[in-house]
Chain A
């Protein structure tokens, strides 16, 4: 229903654009009236006037649909003890009624056995309520549709009639458009703030159980200790000492990210230099998309590549030269991750190098510099800001990467800087703390939010650093 209504709305606005423009042109040429805006603006004016109230009302109806439903069916007549229900129970019942309302009016033959048993289990009052709800939905749908058709048409005609020599449509239209684009950017900002705040609040919840100093500075990570103590008895902070130490996760993350960057920076940068400066156009046209495919491979594929092929291989090689290598070494995860982020480095650096003006190359060649001298002494310094930017982007990608490390890195926290040993990362631990039967009043679960917040702040810091560096060099080079 709603899609149909939206389609009609699009058609209506399309028509109103022409009606508005036509009327403006009519006034101009047949009525000999001097218009204060271009005819196009009168078209937009009518469309906006017709559309905006309808869309606002639709949004309002959508927002308060639940409340309307509640007012409509949740009467004390059907549910006598309703005043004693908690908000949670109210929501659950409403949800159940919503499900019932879909099937309650269907003929019995069309129902699956599951659906029949749901109907049988429902009480008489619930069925009555569900039927009422179905009626409500029907009315709600039709009123939406009417709203979408009648209201815009009326408003549109009113707006068309109001077009005259005195009406200056341009500032009105531009103001409304400004509000719309402003609103869009505010929405993006608000969502970011919302996500950040939800992290903060849950993290605060976590820190009610665990001392922040303990979390950030202790070196023991044994989150399962939180299960030993029964949550109902409350946690003694001493019990959780050394259970949630963030340090081994941080070192593990940095270790694996470092391995990844050691792989990705030289390979990515050199392939960027080759592609931008040495490769013929044909080679470049073929090679660049192929390298970029690396970025399109799902990370889970890298994950089992690392876990099933790379890790055993590294173990075999290591043992053949007498090095003790763990089966879940940080090296394997880091290598796979490094391969994954090569295209981030190479593609961005390639673009940056290509963007260095040809005139600088010409200037260097004309002074008798060879190609490699030109690259080393003119092009790379000029492109440095962008190249650094691509490195930092790759680092923050490496730190935030989850799937590869979940599959290839270890789950055991290990405070080490030896890439041949197992290590775990922040993201891996976030995943493990949230899978399985989870309760949201246990620090073992809540730690995910504290870890997420820390990770968020880390990548934020990296991005700020990247922007600062880029800015600093840009000022210097332009």
Chain B
């Protein structure tokens, strides 16, 4: 396993997160390789979602939340530093949430929202292209091309989630964070999203929190196992799921706890 310094999309070091006095993440150090899918797995409440939300500073709005440690984007930019604005950061690190959350606007407006805010298109036709391309890449274009002006909340759950993915990639991020994106979907919609994730990794670095170990093994190249706020083990998915180094990981993988 050869890794070069600049092949990391995000490097973190000694990360701790507190909610008030309660420790949620305890001294986690982990690096995410570029153009890989990394799964964060672990039992409920282990801190994997909290950790994910630290990466694009979504925890900023929670008043009691305190984040410590080092976060480097592409090995150089301090994510929590003064040199980068949180809006610019989130332009580079997109996010897809557990529950599909399309805006109560038209399908077109949902995807165009980000590009409009960041001024990615100078003309209407450029904007149309971005929207079309994003929907295409999210595998949704064929299904919605005749009803771009319909309200997005009228789509099915799976379509809504793919729309949210299209919305996220419309601003051309480098990294996409996904917080259990399939937990509210049925198996068929889940399969479509997994397929999509597999295609997206060509262009993006994807970090995904998942409850389903079979999903983690299907879609990810790297897997990190969290337990009680600590990173227990991190490595190639094939290794984690076949010969993990730690007993705890083995117990979780084989379903003995969690």
* Interface residue? A174 (CB, 8 A): no
For residue A361, which residue of chain B has the nearest CB? Answer: B61
* Interface residue? A228 (CB, 8 A): no
Contacts of B61 in A (CB 8 A): 365
* Interface residue? A114 (CB, 8 A): no
* Interface residue? B153 (CB, 8 A): yes
Contact between chains at B97 and A368 (CB < 8 Å): no
Contact between chains at A368 and B118 (CB < 8 Å): yes
For residue B103, which residue of chain A has the nearest CB? Answer: A378
Contact between chains at A363 and B103 (CB < 8 Å): yes
* Interface residue? A216 (CB, 8 A): no
Per the bound structure, the CA–CA distance linking A370 and B60 in Å amounts to 13
Contacts of A476 in B (CB 8 A): 104, 151
Interface residues on B, range: 20 to 34
Contacts of A366 in B (CB 8 A): 56, 58, 90, 94-95, 97, 168
Q: Could you tell me the distance in whole angstroms from the C-beta of A278 to the nearest C-beta in chain B?
A: 12
Contacts of B97 in A (CB 8 A): 359, 362-363, 366
Q: Could you tell me the distance in whole angstroms from the C-beta of B222 to the nearest C-beta in chain A?
A: 23
Q: Per a CB cutoff under 8 Å, which of B56, B87, B153, B167 touches A477? A: B153
Q: Per a CB cutoff under 8 Å, which of B87, B94, B164 touches A370? A: B87
* Interface residue? B183 (CB, 8 A): no
Per the bound structure, the CA–CA distance linking A365 and B114 in Å amounts to 10
* Interface residue? A360 (CB, 8 A): yes
Per the bound structure, the CA–CA distance linking A365 and B91 in Å amounts to 10
Contacts of A357 in B (CB 8 A): 101
Q: Per a CB cutoff under 8 Å, which of A367, A378, A381 touches B171? A: A367
Q: A365-B61, A365-B90 are in contact. Are A478 and B153 (CB under 8 A)?
A: yes
Per the bound structure, the CA–CA distance linking A360 and B164 in Å amounts to 11
| Contact mask for chain A residues 375-413; partner B; CB cutoff 8 A; 1 contact, 0 none | 001100110000000000000000000000000000000
Total number of A residues with any Cβ neighbor in B under 8 Å: 22
* Interface residue? B203 (CB, 8 A): no
Per the bound structure, the CA–CA distance linking A327 and B97 in Å amounts to 61
Per the bound structure, the CA–CA distance linking A478 and B152 in Å amounts to 10
Contact between chains at A367 and B101 (CB < 8 Å): no
Contact between chains at A367 and B167 (CB < 8 Å): yes
Q: Could you tell me the distance in whole angstroms from the C-beta of A174 to the nearest C-beta in chain B?
A: 38
* Interface residue? B8 (CB, 8 A): no
Chain A residues 243 to 281 lying within 8 A of chain B, measured CB to CB, are 280-281
Report the number of A-B residue pairs with Cβ-Cβ less than 8 Å.
68
Contacts of A359 in B (CB 8 A): 97, 99, 101
| Contact mask for chain A residues 208-238; partner B; CB cutoff 8 A; 1 contact, 0 none | 0000000000000000000000000000000
Contact between chains at A365 and B58 (CB < 8 Å): yes
| Contact mask for chain B residues 77-96; partner A; CB cutoff 8 A; 1 contact, 0 none | 00000000001111100110
* Interface residue? A457 (CB, 8 A): no
For residue A357, which residue of chain B has the nearest CB? Answer: B101
Q: A359-B97, A359-B99, A477-B153 are in contact. Are A369 and B104 (CB under 8 A)?
A: no
Contact between chains at B117 and A477 (CB < 8 Å): no
For residue A367, which residue of chain B has the nearest CB? Answer: B114
Per the bound structure, the CA–CA distance linking A377 and B105 in Å amounts to 10
* Interface residue? A364 (CB, 8 A): yes
Q: Could you tell me the distance in whole angstroms from the C-beta of B206 to the nearest C-beta in chain A?
A: 15
* Interface residue? B113 (CB, 8 A): yes
Contacts of A360 in B (CB 8 A): 101, 103-104
Contacts of B118 in A (CB 8 A): 368
* Interface residue? A285 (CB, 8 A): no
Contacts of B90 in A (CB 8 A): 365-368
* Interface residue? A70 (CB, 8 A): no
Q: Per a CB cutoff under 8 Å, which of A362, A378, A382 touches B58? A: A362
Contacts of A368 in B (CB 8 A): 87-91, 114, 117-118, 171
For residue A477, which residue of chain B has the nearest CB? Answer: B104
Contacts of B164 in A (CB 8 A): 363
Contacts of A365 in B (CB 8 A): 58, 61, 90
* Interface residue? A441 (CB, 8 A): no
Contacts of A239 in B (CB 8 A): none
Per the bound structure, the CA–CA distance linking A378 and B114 in Å amounts to 12
Q: A362-B58, A478-B153 are in contact. Are A367 and B104 (CB under 8 A)?
A: no
Per the bound structure, the CA–CA distance linking A378 and B113 in Å amounts to 10
| Contact mask for chain A residues 340-370; partner B; CB cutoff 8 A; 1 contact, 0 none | 0000000000000000010110111111111
Contact between chains at B151 and A477 (CB < 8 Å): yes
Contacts of B168 in A (CB 8 A): 366-367
| Contact mask for chain A residues 95-133; partner B; CB cutoff 8 A; 1 contact, 0 none | 000000000000000000000000000000000000000
Per the bound structure, the CA–CA distance linking A367 and B97 in Å amounts to 12
Chain B residues 97 to 147 lying within 8 A of chain A, measured CB to CB, are 97, 99, 101-105, 113-114, 117-118
Q: Could you tell me the distance in whole angstroms from the C-beta of A351 to the nearest C-beta in chain B?
A: 18
Q: Could you tell me the distance in whole angstroms from the C-beta of A386 to the nearest C-beta in chain B?
A: 13
Q: A366-B56, A367-B90, A478-B153 are in contact. Are A381 and B105 (CB under 8 A)?
A: yes
* Interface residue? A319 (CB, 8 A): no
Contacts of A381 in B (CB 8 A): 104-105
Contacts of A367 in B (CB 8 A): 90, 94, 113-114, 117, 167-168, 171
Q: Could you tell me the distance in whole angstroms from the C-beta of B174 to the nearest C-beta in chain A?
A: 13
Q: Could you tell me the distance in whole angstroms from the C-beta of B103 to the nearest C-beta in chain A?
A: 5
Per the bound structure, the CA–CA distance linking A319 and B205 in Å amounts to 70
Contacts of B117 in A (CB 8 A): 367-369, 373, 377
Contacts of B63 in A (CB 8 A): 280-281
Per the bound structure, the CA–CA distance linking A370 and B99 in Å amounts to 22
Chain B residues 51 to 90 lying within 8 A of chain A, measured CB to CB, are 56, 58, 61, 63, 87-90
Contacts of B104 in A (CB 8 A): 360, 381-382, 476-478
Q: A368-B88, A368-B114 are in contact. Are A363 and B101 (CB under 8 A)?
A: yes
- List the 9 closest A-B pairs by CB distance, nearest first: A368-B90, A366-B95, A359-B101, A477-B104, A367-B114, A368-B91, A363-B101, A368-B87, A382-B104
Provide 26 A-B residue pairs closer than 8 Å at the C-beta atoms, listed in order of the A residue.
Answer: A281-B63, A357-B101, A359-B101, A360-B103, A363-B101, A364-B103, A365-B61, A365-B90, A366-B94, A366-B95, A366-B168, A367-B114, A367-B117, A367-B167, A367-B171, A368-B90, A368-B114, A368-B118, A369-B87, A373-B117, A377-B113, A381-B104, A381-B105, A382-B104, A477-B151, A478-B104
Other than A359-B99, A365-B58, give 14 A-B pairs with Cβ distance below 8 A. Answer: A359-B97, A362-B101, A363-B164, A363-B167, A364-B103, A365-B61, A366-B56, A366-B58, A368-B87, A368-B114, A377-B117, A378-B103, A382-B103, A478-B153
> Chain A interface (Cβ within 8 Å of chain B)?
280-281, 357, 359-360, 362-370, 373, 377-378, 381-382, 476-478
